[in-house]
Structure 1
Amino acid sequence: MNPIIANSITNSFTYEAYRHLVATYAQEGKTSGHTQTEAYINYTKLNESRMHRLDKTIEVLEDVKSKLAQIPKRYIWLVLAETWCGDAAQVLPVIHKMAEVNTNIDLKIVLRDEHEELMQLFLTNGTQSIPKLIIIDTEKEDVIADFGPRPQGAKQLILDYKKAHGVVDEAAKIELQKWYLANKGVEIQQEIMALLN
């Protein structure tokens, strides 16, 4: 296995530990990562309430559940995230619910800014976009696929907004959150399953 990936796995959080971190930071008025600003602290607070809601409401689709349950191989799902990241707050609870279906899937989370070498291996169009799910076949000790930072529908929404307005501003972020809310994690589940097939 790539030593950078192996090291990241060793120094990763479980989902529960990551959720505890988000909740603690939100409560203490802190944020993870290199950018320590009021805005990022507020995003962390917002993400805590989002994740709290999604942890309760997200449901794995029946067909996805049955396919996940039949996976015989062991996988590590390694996710790069930060507590302030709006997309991570929407995507991670879905990934967690999917991983819970089968004990062969071991979900691990690392903070992007503490794992820059790992992030460099999984850039999106040259950018350090998160969340990024890295799917590792533990038997082959090899990466078989990666997903993120957003499902296609959310990606398209941002591209269209940028084309129309020239920037991605707060209004764009609101539209994006509405998209996630309406989609209920369906596209995330479908795209990850397509990668596993």
Structure 2
Amino acid sequence: MNPSAQPPVLSPERLAGAYTYAAYRQLIEQLMAEGKTTGENQSEDLTAYARLNIQRMERLDKKAELMPEMQQALNNLTHNYEWVVLTEGWCGDAAQIVPVLEKIAQASHGRLRTRYLLRDENLDLMDRYLTNGSRSIPKLLILHADTLTEVATWGPRPNEAQNLLLELKAAGATHEEYAEKIHGWYAKDKTRSTQQELLQILEQLT
């Protein structure tokens, strides 16, 4: 479909009200100081997950490194894009992926601009991008910067992690069991799969 014939994914006003990465991180920190996390559902378990996620994001902010091929693809971009990310502070996958998305955008010389929306405050948007019928996050929406029409989407996790999750759930794993396995996978993968899948998308944009 011609991009000009597509409807915008969201309005400029709604995009303007989205969080920057710094504001998103600040929100999570402020809520944690109150013993809370994002969203209407609050529990000790969710707060505990959010606390771990802050640590995960801090670690990735400091240690995650972009692959040389990623930087090359970013250098080749000739148009500007909005990266709209549906996320929540309690989501473990978001904690493993959002810092990587931010690093990629920061290295794009202004070609990619990230904005973050909380899933549960934007269910009308989330429900257009379900994964196997579920509101799985994080979900990246890549939009043309001028028209806010959809270019591509990605998420909620790399294919290998997604397949592992489905296998574990099919085998009857509890939330704690599959969360441990998935985060172990992320630790070994060191963001490579996330970067490689996003690299394939970026190379199609150039």
TM-score after normalising by structure 1: 0.94
The aligned counterpart of 1:126 is 133
**Counterpart for residue 69 of structure 2:** 63
TM-score (norm. length: structure 2): 0.90
Contact 1:87 1:150 survives alignment (8 Å): yes
Does the CA-based 8 Å contact 2:82-2:112 persist in structure 1? yes
> What's the secondary structure of 2:65's corresponding residue?
coil
Q: Distance in 1 between matches of 2:12 and 2:185?
A: 35
CA distance in 2, matches of 1:72, 1:168: 46
Contact 1:27 1:45 in 2 (8 A): no
Q: Is the contact between residue 87 and residue 149 of structure 1 (CA under 8 Å) also seen in structure 2?
A: yes
Q: Does residue 1:104 correspond to 2:106, yes or no?
A: no
**Aligned-pair distance for 1:132?**
0.2
Query: What is the CA–CA distance in structure 1 between the aligned matches of 2:13 and 2:174, rounded to whole Å?
Result: 34
2:48 aligned partner: 42
**CA distance, structure 1, for counterparts of residue 46 and residue 95 of structure 2:** 13
2:35 alignment counterpart:
29
The aligned counterpart of 2:161 is 154
How many residue pairs are counted as aligned between the two chains?
Answer: 196
Counterpart residue number, 1:187: 193
Paired with 2:9 and 2:88, the residues of 1 have a C-alpha distance of 22
Separation in 1, partners of 2:58, 2:17: 24
The separation in 2 between residues aligned to 1:175 and 1:3, in whole angstroms, is 34
Given residue 65 of structure 1, which amino acid in structure 2 is its aligned partner?
Q
Return the match for 1:9 from 12, 15, 28: 15
Gaps spanning 5+ residues in structure 1: where? none
2:8 and 2:150 in contact (8 A); partners too? no
**How far did residue 5 of structure 1 move?**
5.0
120-129 or 90-99, larger mean C-alpha shift: 120-129
CA distance in 1 between partners of 2:163 and 2:11 (Å): 30
Q: Residues of 1 paired with 2:10 and 2:101: CA distance?
A: 22
Structure 2 partner of 1:163: 170
Q: Percent identity between the aligned chains?
A: 38
CA RMSD of aligned residues (A): 1.5
CA deviations over 1:40-72 (Å, ceiling 9, x no partner): 111111111111111001111011111112211
- Cα distance, 1:94 vs. partner? 0.5
